[in-house]
Amino acid sequence: MLVATLAAVCSWPALAHADEPVVDPADLPPLPEPAEDESSNAAILAAVSAEEDVVVGAAKREQTLGNVASAVTVVTADRIRRFGYRTVGEAVASVAGAYFEDTRIVSTIGFRGINILGDFNTRVLVLVDGATVNEGWGSFAGVGYGDLVAIDDIARIEVIRGPVSSVYGTNAFFGIINIVTRGATESPHAWGRIAVNSINGFTAAAGFAQGTVHQQIRGTVRAMTRFPETLSVPDVGDNLKGDGSNVFAGSLAGSYNGTFAQVRAYRFRRDSPFAPYNGDPAVTPPYNEYNSQLLVEGGHTEELSKRLTVVGRAYANVYEFYDHILQYQAKPFDDYGDTKTFGLELRGRYEAIPEYLGITAGTEGNFNRTKSRSFTVGGSDEVVVPKDINIEGVYTELDGNLASWLGYTVGARYDRNSVIDTRLSPRAALFISKPEKYGVKFLYAEGFRNPSAYEAFFHDDVTFAAPQHLTSETIRSFELVGWAKPIGGLSTRISAYYWDARGIVEQLPLANPMPGQENLIAFQNVGRIITAGVEAEASYRNSSGWYGFAGGAYSHVGSAEGDGALTYHVVNAPSVTAAGGISTPKIYGVGHLSAELAYIAERLTRAAMDGMASESSPAWFGLNAVIYVPDIRGFDLTGGVRNIIGTRDLMPAPADYDRYMSPNTVTIPRIPGEGREIFLKLGYAY
């Protein structure tokens, strides 16, 4: 209702300024030189619409939404700016079927009713310009402030649902988030932005870009420091402090006539006031962690003929995790996790029969050297777990058209892991469509996720026991997708889906603990999760500058231990998630006013699963409003309020927060999300 009212109030001044530019040209892909009569809002609208219809991450090549073998949403830079998203997680949370959670240890994305407690975003493959962000020790990939990419540097975010192991192998389990950064032709020569957020503190970013489409160099630096909140959590404590955070990050990327390279690095510190791993909430901070990562990628693309293109690339991903726990009535405890990943990939694309048969094939291999260390500070109880892992994969995919209205994709990837499992991952799709108008997609895919080195081998004998013979998780997906563009500027999609995931790894108390292990948890293959439901979304923009989107999913989530009967009482599995927003044209030719509403249905907590219904997480509404002024003599201004309603999302707490006070163990059912937040961002570009 509020969104509709906002649209009605703001529409009349916009009509008087229909000839004003409605999209920041810096957010557009490069355009051909226009004819004199084409430099209108309609041409800009067409360019933005084309950008929303292109997907790269689903098959490592450009595809349109109508012939990609997944259900995909593209969040453009224009949408990011208008709605004031500050992180990748906030942007992805606005798409149908996704929901975002920040446990004050890690920020994670759930899809279609599934976000497993204690996960470190390991079941979503995050890519930056095609390079894998998920590191080799814990498979972690940041989507909050602690990530590798500045939000101001993003051209679009592709949200690809379902397993894509047939192309990428492990971690592409519930989906892929492919972050595409802005090239030199889409960016100003130099830019800088500073912001103040009433919770997330001061942020600053700056960058430069020089060159053309084929010869360019660009770089970015950014920093953030958080204003900590003071919070209360039953059974942990009142007036909890130690909620600070900071990040420093930088990147440099470039290309020269087919040769490309990128270097990205960050260091992120996060405190948690909720005292995980039996920290002492009376001290500040009871827990803090550091994540440092360096991602380096380089390669070359060569068009050997009009039909054959080959790409070779090499990459390195170096990561270090460190946490410091001030434990209750005990000495401080430290954990370290390190990994160095080095890999090579060679792939080719051959148009065997143009438009009717294309062949993509590739091979990839990487070496991972990991080591975990944990110890009491000043003690002699250090536990060291080194592990080296080799992964090799080969893949191929055929695609094309049997008729103008009938297309197909079929492919598979074979992966060998030297320590855990070997897997074959097939994928197939059939497309029936009237191009650019409407169509139906029938999708089938299988995927897997090998447990990370952290899950499969880490133990400290204080909180975590040594895992026992973990195997890979597997998933099988069936999906029917209908899409249509009934009128100019309107895109719609509806999906019916069924995911069956087995061998899911969770951190749980030991089932049959040995003496002295009664309070230890361990990662275990505990069972099966199924989600089945319906997902729908629509987006609309017109040449006057209106932009709107809406989407949601109904998911029926069930779980079972082993091959047992399914139960439909699953922790942290909302049956409904939804989001929608509307953005006006430039009001009085100055700025866009936007509003967004998100909804997450009630979720069971671990305590509610034990019969304490009052400890479930209630349904939550989040309402945001933003005004975005894109260009006043080179300056841009964004101001907004997030969570206007002010009600905190009481998220289900992972087992990390439970309190072990001998002889009792206290389950912490819920932790509060962030409250109302005001932010203001000022930028300049030339």
Q: What is the 3-state secondary structure (H, E, C) of 177-216?
A: EEEEECCHHHCCCEEEEEEEECCCEEEEEEEEEEECCCEE
Domain that holds residue 630: 2-305+316-325+397-685
- Please report which helix (H) or strand (E) contains residue 6, including its range: helix 2-15
Note whether residue 527 is domain-resident.
yes
pLDDT score recorded for residue 27: 46
pLDDT tens column, 274-333: 999 889 998 888 999 999 999 999 999 999 999 999 999 999 999 999 999 998 778 899
Mean predicted confidence (pLDDT) in 170-177: 96
Question: Residues 6 or more apart from 88 whose CB is under 8 A from it?
Answer: 126, 143, 144, 147, 149, 151, 154, 157, 177, 179
Confidence of residue 102 (pLDDT cuts 50, 70, 90): very high
Note whether residue 342 is domain-resident.
no
Mean predicted confidence (pLDDT) in 221-236: 92
Largest Cα–Cα distance of the chain, in whole Å? 82
pLDDT tens column, 492-535: 999 999 999 999 998 888 877 888 777 788 899 988 999 999 99
**Contact predicate 269/651, CB 8 Å:** no
pLDDT of residue 345 exceeding 70, the answer is yes
Instruction: Determine if the peptide bond prior to 451 is cis (ω within 30°).
Output: no
CA angle, 31 then 37 then 42, to 5°: 60
User: Nearest Cα to 30, choosing from 214, 253, 159?
Assistant: 214
pLDDT score recorded for residue 613: 61
Note whether residue 594 is domain-resident.
yes
CA angle, 202 then 203 then 208, to 5°: 150
Strands 175-181 and 124-128 turn out to be parallel
Note whether residue 354 is domain-resident.
no
Mean predicted confidence (pLDDT) in 348-375: 96
Rg (CA), the chain: 24
Kindly tell me the burial class for residue 407, based on how many C-beta atoms sit within 10 Å of its own C-beta (0-12, 13-18, 19 or more): buried
Note whether residue 90 is domain-resident.
yes
CATH number for position 74? 2.40.170.20
pLDDT score recorded for residue 436: 86
pLDDT score recorded for residue 328: 78
pLDDT score recorded for residue 346: 98
pLDDT of residue 563 exceeding 90, the answer is no
pLDDT of residue 487 exceeding 70, the answer is yes
Mean predicted confidence (pLDDT) in 633-647: 96
pLDDT tens column, 608-635: 877 666 789 999 999 999 999 999 999 9
Confidence of residue 661 (pLDDT cuts 50, 70, 90): confident
| Mean pLDDT rounded to a whole number for the chain | 90
User: Which one-letter amino acid corresponds to residue 50?
Assistant: A
Note whether residue 346 is domain-resident.
no
Structure tokens at 469: 């013979």
Mean predicted confidence (pLDDT) in 10-31: 42
Tell me the C-alpha distance between 116 and 654, whole Å.
9
Kindly report whether the global pTM for this prediction surpasses the value 0.85.
yes
User: Which one-letter amino acid corresponds to residue 307?
Assistant: R
Note whether residue 345 is domain-resident.
no
pLDDT score recorded for residue 49: 53
Query: What is the count of structural domains for the chain?
Result: 1
Q: How far apart are the first and last CA of the chain?
A: 39
pLDDT score recorded for residue 355: 87
pLDDT of residue 68 exceeding 80, the answer is yes
Note whether residue 561 is domain-resident.
yes
Tell me the C-alpha distance between 174 and 301, whole Å.
29
pLDDT score recorded for residue 625: 98
The DSSP code sequence of 56-94 is -TTTTS-EEGGGSSSEEEEEEHHHHHHTT--SHHHHHTT
pLDDT tens column, 398-438: 999 999 999 999 999 999 999 999 999 999 999 999 988 99
**Contact predicate 72/160, CB 8 Å:** yes
Confidence of residue 48 (pLDDT cuts 50, 70, 90): low
Kindly tell me the burial class for residue 277, based on how many C-beta atoms sit within 10 Å of its own C-beta (0-12, 13-18, 19 or more): buried
Q: For residues 376-387, b (16+ Cβ closer than 10 Å) or e, as one string? A: beeeeeebebeb
pLDDT score recorded for residue 468: 84
Tell me the C-alpha distance between 128 and 575, whole Å.
31
C-beta atoms surrounding 243 within 10 Å: 21
**Contact predicate 316/359, CB 8 Å:** no
Half-sphere exposure of 307 (CA within 13 A, CB side): 10
- Please report which helix (H) or strand (E) contains residue 3, including its range: helix 2-15
